[in-house]
Chains A and B, each alone.
Chain A
């Protein structure tokens, strides 16, 4: 393990993605939107925000994080019913795919489960960009018409 790793937790770099990786993700998002008519979005960050713990726990019926957090992010999209959110928490090593009311009819939970597993295996290999791009491609392929 490189000696530099000791500082990784304290350093706050600008981004997890290089500019070319960003372009790849952006292209995949555009292609996915165009092919399906949905709005795909990708969130990369922690899915349990300690500063918001109160607001999460006030609702006794809400699901436990990170699912609850991912669903709230999804609800903040312009048209949640027509949107699909890929939420990835690299530090927690968990990812959530959230579909809306309409997108769910075309992207079954079973399909999402398969895509999530595939993305997880790419992430376990450290390939963050590849996981996002492949996940988007797979979701488009599995969307029913």
Chain B
């Protein structure tokens, strides 16, 4: 049975289901497979003023890590106060 003959014997509901419902279902499935996984593990968005629970992290350039900085992966505090150099500078800001 060709498509044209099939269309003649189908009801309106069947036509809608076949030509709109099925394509829509396929599109939805593909979209879910594409965007679903990344949405599920998306990092939380930072909002100033909202206290968040998160794991502290200490980031270095990949090349610096290779040169013996790997121990910094565990960002626990602190060095003894005496180890802190006297001639350190810098700046602070708050928001």
Contacts and interface: CB of A to CB of B under 8 A. Distances in A.
Interface of A: 5, 8-18, 21-22, 25-26, 29-30, 32-33, 39-46, 49, 52, 55-56, 58-59, 61-62, 66-78, 80-81, 85, 90-101, 104, 107-109, 112-113, 115-117, 119-121, 123-128
Given A58-B81, A98-B89, 16 more contacts: A9-B52, A12-B55, A14-B41, A14-B55, A16-B43, A16-B54, A29-B59, A43-B75, A55-B80, A72-B77, A73-B75, A78-B68, A94-B92, A101-B88, A109-B89, A120-B94
Contacts of B90: 70, 85, 96-99, 104, 109, 112
20 contacts: A9-B52, A12-B54, A16-B52, A41-B64, A46-B56, A52-B78, A55-B80, A56-B78, A72-B78, A72-B79, A81-B85, A93-B95, A94-B93, A94-B94, A95-B94, A96-B91, A97-B91, A97-B92, A109-B89, A120-B94
Given A40-B61, A77-B72, A71 B84 contact: yes
B51 A8 contact: yes
Nearest to A85: B90
Contact of B77 (A52, A91, A98): A52
Interface residues of B, number: 46
B77 A39 contact: no
Interface in B40-55: 41-55
A118 B93 CA distance: 9
A101 B93 contact: no
Nearest to A29: B61
